[in-house]
Structure 1
């Protein structure tokens, strides 16, 4: 198949109407030579939390509040239901997230305590039931069926991983994706990636990346640490004015943060209740953002429960604004 012709979407109105599972391949051809870090790309925060192990009795990870860790230690049957309700940030599988248009995945890797196997897992408070290799294989199989789509995999948090575990993880990444991995020496535009057959960009937040040509540097993730949409927006607007935008890829994470005070004052709610109630305000703000290379521009926008919201088409539609500058 030739990639040099016009995109089928050149005559389409809103980019939000593009097929969600193949929106990159349907972008107007005017965007094919634009650096990928200047496009608006939808992502998911804590991508692999749809399969948390409800039978897991390991201590909650150290990222959780101290009080929650203490209560979990001595009152596990009472506290664990709260942990699950507030740790799950996505309800759909990684394949379903990719089908709905997600192209950035936030991956947090862990070695389960007292597990003598070679398997690695994902975690957010507690561990997942699926292994890292199984999820990466699922992504590769999806990419096989979508040869002009590109995913950015951010390996950003590591729990209980020693050097041997990092070597195992990196070898697994290489074995699963093989020739789909884009080396960090390549210009990142859709046209270039299509022509060379690259579909996977791996960001790795560890010094070991320096000896692997397939691993890109850590992608900055802007996180507001707020539990209200208005406060999150205010924080990001302040940061954009003061700092501009980082060079290359970067993420604006519109994920809200629940603290112990909020959880205790909303005992019947869950993270999903909090997130979905604030999406109308957040999406209205997102509609006013612009991708590109200017100081205030955005690139990747990641959120929770992306398959149940309108975040993905809203972010994709932002790329229409780039057409006015070409």
Structure 2
């Protein structure tokens, strides 16, 4: 007999409606701390709208050789950058509809931009501004009042203290009463009762001045280009114990300049999709909770084109069985 059968819940959690899966979880999971649930996330969430016409240089997170080549051979190098910089092809509403509840947001201020507009970046910058992106999420949440999203702001590039202040004010103004302040412990039941739907993690030293900002969420990044090596690294991390609170196990593979040059006809999507079967087999045997070896958020690339989301959601059946 399965875990869901023993609790009176008759169908697999894989079958929950993806756009409202939190609101359809069995009652027994409403009081589980959110950091102990299995939650699907998207790595580098906003790379579906990279600006192909932007003339700004490749950002400083890219390999030094790639930056130099881009400076002198931009027409030749940029196509490679785009092929390997895109990690998601669907917009944020489509990702949320697919069940994503954690967004990995890399924030940047474009060089030589005299406005206060902020963008996202991964190699190059996006066309969508941060403010417009957040408004899209707000609109989606308005029509999904019992869903909760975790927004992780990190990897800030080119932001002054004033731009940080303006960004935080934008976050507060967009989400207003939906924004969850720092709390000791949160679960779906108390979030629903209080009307909170957004948790903002902010990786910068300004967070001490704002009750609305949660501490940075640790992201287990394996920095590997092969599934076997990535899984081995994540297993090593698990043996050291899980962090307190929220944390992310990233099953995203990482390319480097050597790999790109040796696979000139491929893209990051080719690399990722060819390894998803192996990665999903690893995900299937994970379990959420607070104990040693447990997981919380699992984030990946091209999230809407794999079975990662339903696979992660289904891991919560372990919590039903454990009760």
Normalising to structure 1: TM-score of the pair? 0.96
* Cα distance in 1 for residues equivalent to 2:297 and 2:237: 16
Q: Which residue, out of 24, 42, 60, partners 1:26? A: 24
Which SS does the other structure have where 2:89 is aligned? coil
Q: How does 1:1-326 map to 2 (within 5 A)?
A: 11-185=9-183, 187-241=185-239, 243-326=240-323
Conserved? CA contact 1:226–1:258, under 8 Å: yes
TM superposition shift of 1:324: 1.0
Normalising to structure 2: TM-score of the pair? 0.97
Q: How many residues align?
A: 317
* Cα distance in 2 for residues equivalent to 1:144 and 1:130: 21
TM superposition shift of 1:131: 0.3
TM superposition shift of 1:186: 5.4
Conserved? CA contact 1:10–1:27, under 8 Å: no
Deviations 1:87-130 (A, max 9, x none): 00000000000000000000011001121122111101100001
TM superposition shift of 1:221: 0.2
Q: Which aligned segments of 4 or more residues in structure 1 are displaced greater than 4 angstroms? A: none
Unaligned runs of 5+ in 1: 1-8
* Cα distance in 2 for residues equivalent to 1:70 and 1:12: 58
Deviations 1:134-161 (A, max 9, x none): 0000000000000000000000110000
Q: In angstroms, what is the RMSD of aligned CA positions?
A: 0.9
Deviations 1:201-260 (A, max 9, x none): 00000010101000000000000000000000011112211x110010000000000011
Query: 1:3 corresponds to which residue?
Result: none
